[in-house]
Structure 1
Amino acid sequence: MCRQLGLPRATYYRRLDAGDTPTALRRRELTDQVKTVFDSSDGIFGHRMVHAKLAAAGIEVSVGTVAGIMAENGWAAKRMRAFKRTTIASDPDKVFEDLIGRDFTAEAPGTRLVGDITYLRTGEGWLYLATVIDLCTRMVVGWAMAEHMRASLVTGALTMARDSGHLSPNAIFHSDHGTQYTSREMGAWCAGNKIRQSMGATGVCWDNAVAESLFSSLKNEFYHHHSFTTRQDARRATMRYIEVFYNRWRPHTNNEGLPPATAMANFTTRNQPLPAAA
């Protein structure tokens, strides 16, 4: 029992002497553990995310118990808000075939990836963020930020993914119909790096649901709770959210509760090097 509660034996018996039952002790310790995870998420985690972090730490507790503890203490996740899209539609003659077809899975990292652009308001004006997400692990393997939405923003994010070893030969990169993705510069970059472009239907958010989900998390877990005086402030904070919180700490349901970077590391350890895309 002491081992399950994470308590020194002396503390356990002292609390029993004070009148606490083993069940009450267990509930109290679980409450402390739930609070620790909830607070460390800055109040953004709901009961399922808290449960995933506890499970990853080897703490045995049901989702229902975590939900009950959070409800009893008034610990509720911050409310979700909708966000506006930034897509500027391109000439329909320049779009590519949909090679993903809403099948947002991949047998190996680096073979099927998605990307999109969103915006961040600062005291100096807009800052735009482009991302590249690996569909196998949901890790953000490439990102770039700039004051503009030109094609170099998205090729910059892809270059990061390539240079960090997260783009396999013949990989598929899926996006919307934004002019940045249908541009000549983007086409040349993909051809030069042996990347196959893929695009969903115009104006259908479900055709790029993984990219939309990332931005929803970023906006609701981070962006809407801060204000940025300068673009540099926003850059630094966004980089921390992506690289520290999202990639390396936040549990992801796609990975059975593991953070994306952990899932990536596990796959890479088992399979060296990354295989080429089919």
Structure 2
Amino acid sequence: IDCHTKAVIGWATDDNYKTALIETAITMAARNHQLTAGAIFHSDRGSNYTSTQFAATLKGLGIRQSVGRTGICYDNSMAESFFATLKNERVHRTVYPTREHARRDIARYIELRYNTTRRHSALDYRTPRQVHDEYLKKQPAA
């Protein structure tokens, strides 16, 4: 999640929660978005996030790693808030006949609703796309 725009910039789904799943999401973020040098990836202290394999992936992408304090959910509140929103607005309201249906529906929700049209109170009720576009307009021409 981009801290400035609140957009989900990297995501992945699978039937397991292994380090490779998280690597897929962070690689998507690095490839699809212009991350500045030294961008920070923050997470909780889950074993997947603190593994040497994941640390090597972040280093290879030029991303710095940050982890929250043990047992303090507020340190990772943006991620916690996103997942609560995803569950409340989509997952708990939908019956998925297959995992593939769920994956496609969640992808559509993230890309076509959450990132583009859903207003966020933390953004003065603007959308992540609006905040991103406003940021780009303020940048000097190259």
- Work out whether residues 141 and 166 of structure 1, in 8 Å CA contact, stay in contact via their aligned partners in 2: no
Cα distance in 2 between the residues matched to 1:264 and 1:147 = 32
Instruction: Report how far residue 183 of structure 1 moved.
Output: 1.2
Q: Write out per-residue CA displacement over residues 43-98 of structure 1, whole angstroms, 9 at most, x where no aligned residue.
A: xxxxxxxxxxxxxxxxxxxxxxxxxxxxxxxxxxxxxxxxxxxxxxxxxxxxxxxx
In structure 2, what is the equivalent of residue 187 of structure 1? 55
Give the aligned length.
141
Q: Moved runs in structure 1, 4+ residues, more than 6 A?
A: none
1:215 partnered with 2:83: yes
**Quick check: 1:255–1:263 contact (8 Å CA) kept in 2?**
yes
Q: What's the secondary structure of 1:173's corresponding residue?
A: strand
Deviation at 1:272, TM superposition (A): 5.7
Deviations 1:87-120 (CA, angstroms, capped at 9, x unpaired): xxxxxxxxxxxxxxxxxxxxxxxxxxxxxxxxxx
> Which ranges of structure 1 fall in alignment gaps of 5 or more residues?
1-132, 274-278
Where does structure 2 lack aligned partners over 5 or more consecutive residues? none
Shift of 1:221: 0.9
SS in structure 2 of the partner of residue 213 of structure 1: helix
- CA RMSD, aligned part only? 1.4
Kindly provide the CA deviation profile for residues 139-162 of structure 1, in whole angstroms up to 9, marking residues without a partner as x. 111111111111111111111111
Greater helix content: 2
In 1, the alpha carbon distance for the partners of 2:96 and 2:125 equals 31
State the structure with more CA Rg. Answer: 1
TM-score, normalization by structure 2: 0.93
Residue 160, structure 1, aligned to residue 28, structure 2: yes
Aligned partner letter, 2:88 = N
Larger strand proportion, structure 1 or 2? Answer: 1
Q: What amino acid maps onto 1:232 in structure 2? A: E
Q: Which residue of 2 aligns with 1:140?
A: 8
How many Å separate the matches in 2 of 1:260 and 1:203? 29
Q: Higher relative contact order by CA 8 Å / sep ≥ 6: 1 or 2?
A: 2
Match of residue 4 from structure 1: none
Task: Work out the CA distance in 1 between the residues paired with 2:128 and 2:95.
Answer: 27
